[in-house]
Amino acid sequence: MAAGAAGLTVLASPAQASTTTPEDALDQAALTTTLTGPELKSIQDRRYRPAWKVALDFALDKQGVPYLWGGTGRGGYDCSGLMLRAYEKAGIDLPRTAAEQYAAFGRKIAWNDLRPGDLVFFSGLGHVGMISRPGYMVHAPHSGDVVKEEKLSSWRRDAFVGAVRPDAKGVREWAERRAAPAPAMPVASVL
């Protein structure tokens, strides 16, 4: 592999390049691929971007999309639908509703420990947003509004229920707990 001025050039190994007869000779161009511009950026982004960053970029890119109750794309998003699709883009499958998203993770994050990518929950788990930068969140607020970034006000602080930092392991554990059969209940009989 060699780095070129215009991008990244990938060369085949000598074993791949050797042939036994002239008829089998491979053109050197067939052994070299040069990646430039968007192709190279795409590979670099996938390799070095944490899930929270992918999810946050997705959510921020949806600014201006209308709020749609029950929406998870196309026509619009509701608050939990936006978080669902953002983390799905990052390879983490979240549950559908805000309350389920909160319950999916055992580790809760305090207000003073919030970081970009954290999901923040408000109003008795009736609303969720994602921290975009210190003191701000991106969310789908309510009917008649659009996905937007908003400063975390004192009103939001008062309505804060808790926060989680999504990871694939936490969601798997939640799904396993949910799929487990309910414990047997004792049965009483009256004689």
Q: For position 152, what pLDDT does the model report? A: 97
Q: Judge whether 186 lies within some domain.
A: no
Catalytic residue among 80, 98, 114, 139: 139
Asked if 142 is an active-site residue, the reply is no
In a 3-state reduction of DSSP, which class is residue 22? helix
Catalytic residue among 79, 119, 128, 131: 79
Tally the domains of the chain: 1
Q: For position 36, what pLDDT does the model report? A: 73
Asked if 79 is an active-site residue, the reply is yes
Q: For position 102, what pLDDT does the model report? A: 97
pTM of the model: 0.69
For the chain, 191 residues long, give each residue's pLDDT as a single digit of tens. 444 445 544 444 444 444 444 444 444 445 556 767 777 666 665 566 899 999 999 999 999 999 999 999 999 999 999 999 999 999 999 999 999 999 999 999 999 999 999 999 999 999 999 999 999 999 999 999 999 999 999 999 999 999 999 987 777 676 776 677 766 767 666 76
Asked if 127 is an active-site residue, the reply is yes
Q: Judge whether 190 lies within some domain.
A: no
Residues with Cβ < 8 Å from 160, sequence gap 6 or more?
A: 111, 120, 121, 122
Domain housing 166: 48-179
Residues with Cβ < 8 Å from 137, sequence gap 6 or more?
A: 120, 129, 130, 131, 149, 150, 152, 156
In one letter, which amino acid is 191?
A: L
The total number of residues shown for the chain amounts to 191
What's 77's DSSP letter?
Answer: E
Q: Judge whether 21 lies within some domain.
A: no
Q: For position 13, what pLDDT does the model report? A: 46
Q: Judge whether 191 lies within some domain.
A: no
Q: Judge whether 10 lies within some domain.
A: no
User: What CATH number has the domain bearing residue 61?
Assistant: 3.90.1720.10
Q: Judge whether 140 lies within some domain.
A: yes
Catalytic residue among 85, 122, 127, 166: 127
Q: For position 9, what pLDDT does the model report? A: 46
Q: Judge whether 159 lies within some domain.
A: yes
Q: Judge whether 3 lies within some domain.
A: no
